[in-house]
Structure 1
Amino acid sequence: MSKDTAIYDNPTFLANYLDLPRQQQGHDGAPEWPILMAMVGTVREERVLDLGCGLGWFAHWAVENSAQHVDVLDVSNKMIEKAKGMTASLPKRIDFRVQDISSRDLGVSPGSYNLVYSSLAFHHLSTAAFKRLLAQVNSALVHGGRLVFSVEHPIYTAPGYDQFVKVDLPGRHGADLIWPLNRYGYEGLRETNWLGGEVKKYHRTMTTYFESLLEAGFLVSGFREYMATGEDLEKNPQWQGALQRPMFLLLQAENTARTQPQEG
């Protein structure tokens, strides 16, 4: 994931991060995963690129589901080290690389992958870096190859102050909680305190996400705004606030250019 590497040098932040349900339980702790899995589809005999791998849960899943090979990139040495440990028992079909995905050259060859996947990483990129990355991803995919990614929903990233406050209407309760949305049209950097560290995110509108994909030559083939279901809340009661606004934006796009595949 492209984010400040220094934040992982903060022992409090790292310990809190690794204690999150989605880090402890993998996809079982990520309620949006069933939707993403449906977007990904089969990975059998496919070459996969995972951008911002974190602990490597997706690479683990892809290999278990017969992916031919998975290249894994993350800016954090600590995350790469832990991801290697978690996948050590799997067949040797994963290559790990410490790489900032906001860089101007990811070091990937044209037509190398059938699938590029990313979970909750792209909202840590500026819009210029995001667009630059999309161009590289489009080139790296074979014709008809797909990009599947999730980001924090723009409604979630927009507020210019505490992004985790929910205000109750005077004299009202429960379902009348309000998400304090402001500054939606002001795209750019947002800084918030999370897990004991200062985290940088970049807010973009829905329009910017879609237009950036189209400008990069993608065909948008699917999108969902994730909100908690009753089943999710039974497993994770703390997700009650996810009924007030969508937390995640999930997007699926396809390469429509006839990129020459990599030989070999």
Structure 2
Amino acid sequence: MPEHRDPCLILHSMSDDGGFYDHDGVASTYLEHRQRPDNPNDAIERPTFLGLVGGLSGLDIIDLGFGATAFGREALEAGARSYLGIEVSERMADLARHNLEGLAGRVDHQAIEEWSAEAAGADLVTSRLALNYVEDLDGVFRQVRKALRPSGRLVVSVEHPVITSSFASLADGRRTSWLVDDYFRTGARPHQWLGREVVKYHHTLNDWLDLIENSGLRLERLRESHPARENFQSEQEYERRLRIPLFLFLVARKAAQPEARLPGGA
């Protein structure tokens, strides 16, 4: 399969291959992609994500798969009480530690699926474009619920299911069409990116909603990545991004009080 360089596939973390960003040239190439004008991470994902997160003052935050943790620094400078980032790439973790110098942030170098949460230690758990690379999402969502305090929130961005089910239309260079196929065949979807094979895990929209429900969290909002013209320099790129949703956003909350047990229940 030819290498695909559409920046809509740029990610923050890869838990299935801890050394991916640690291969020579990969991290620097990734960061170069992020500097491109109108890249969808900055033009679409970032403003939508920050709008859903809202105010950060006084919050204890856990961030799963953060890349270079620009969000961590932004959150702490906006008044967050603490920030913990979980990142599998050693190079990205080192870069994050540098970015967080002098702030109340720390980094744990580990895979998301190996994270063991401290009970009720966070007001907000976030994950941006990282969970598509994790196989055992049930376990991760259980840890999220454990980590959250009562009324705490989870805010997640992932690649939209129509993207993770459209690999058949991948081509060298920019895509001009997206052919959705095998939508209900969930699971691993290997493909080439930055000259190496990576594995994403395709989930349907119902799968994402079931993960939240089965973890004991309550879905509050679901949003798709509708582009806003003011976030694009290029009219042509804006029109291109109107064709298909690149990202899916989920906001869930832990109940304010423990659920009441039925008489005679366990």
Which letter does structure 1 place at the counterpart of 2:131?
Answer: F
Shift of 1:12: 3.4
Determine the C-alpha separation between the residues in 2 that align with 1:100 and 1:109: 16
Q: Distance in 1 between matches of 2:67 and 2:171?
A: 23
Could you say which residue in structure 2 is the equivalent of 1:115? Answer: 124
Relative to the length of structure 1, the TM-score reads 0.84
Q: Of 57, 65, 70, which aligns to 2:83?
A: 70
Quick check: 1:120–1:150 contact (8 Å CA) kept in 2?
Answer: yes
Q: What residue number does 2:264 align with?
A: none
Residue 153 (1) aligns with residue 166 (2) = no
Q: What is the deviation of 1:46? A: 1.0
**TM-aligned CA deviation for residue 27 of structure 1:** 10
Q: Comparing 151-160 with 1-10, which one deviates more in the overlay?
A: 1-10
Moved more, 21-30 or 143-152: 21-30
Contact kept? 1:219, 1:254, Cα under 8 Å: yes
* Residues 252 and 204 of structure 1, relative CA distance in 2, 3 Å threshold: same
User: Letter of the aligned partner of 1:87 in structure 2?
Assistant: L
User: Per the alignment, in what secondary structure is the counterpart of residue 16 of structure 1?
Assistant: helix
Q: Could you say which residue in structure 2 is the equivalent of 1:219?
A: 218
Q: How has the CA–CA distance of structure 1 residues 28 and 213 changed in structure 2, closer, same or farther, with 3 Å as cutoff?
A: closer
For the 8 Å contact 1:167–1:178, the answer to whether it is kept is no
What root-mean-square deviation, in Å, do the aligned CA atoms of Structure 1 and Structure 2 show? 2.7
1:171 counterpart residue number: none
What displacement does 1:250 show?
0.7
Q: Distance in 2 between matches of 1:119 and 1:22?
A: 18
Deviations 1:187-223 (A, max 9, x none): 0101111222212100000000001101111111111
Instruction: Provide closer, same or farther for how the CA distance between residues 72 and 9 of structure 1 changes in structure 2, counting only shifts above 3 A.
Output: closer
- Shift of residue 243 of structure 1? 1.9
1:98-247 equivalences under 5 Å are 98-103=109-114, 106-126=115-135, 129-163=136-170, 178-234=177-233, 238=237, 240-247=239-246
Q: Tell me, in whole angstroms, the C-alpha distance in 2 between the residues paired with 1:44 and 1:3.
A: 33
Distance 1:130 1:50 in 2: 15
**What percent of counterpart residues are identical?**
28
Determine whether 1:34 maps to 2:36: no
Instruction: Give, as a single letter, the amino acid of the residue that structure 2 aligns with 1:133.
Output: V
Please report the TM-score for the alignment, with normalisation by the length of structure 2.
0.83
**Any unmatched runs of 5+ in structure 1?**
169-176, 260-264
The residue type paired with residue 54 of structure 2 is G
CA contact (8 A) 1:22 1:28 kept: no
2:43–2:232 CA contact under 8 A, matched in 1 = no
Structure 2: runs of 5 or more not aligned: 1-12, 259-266
Which has the larger displacement, 129-138 or 241-250?
241-250
Secondary structure of 1:181 counterpart = coil
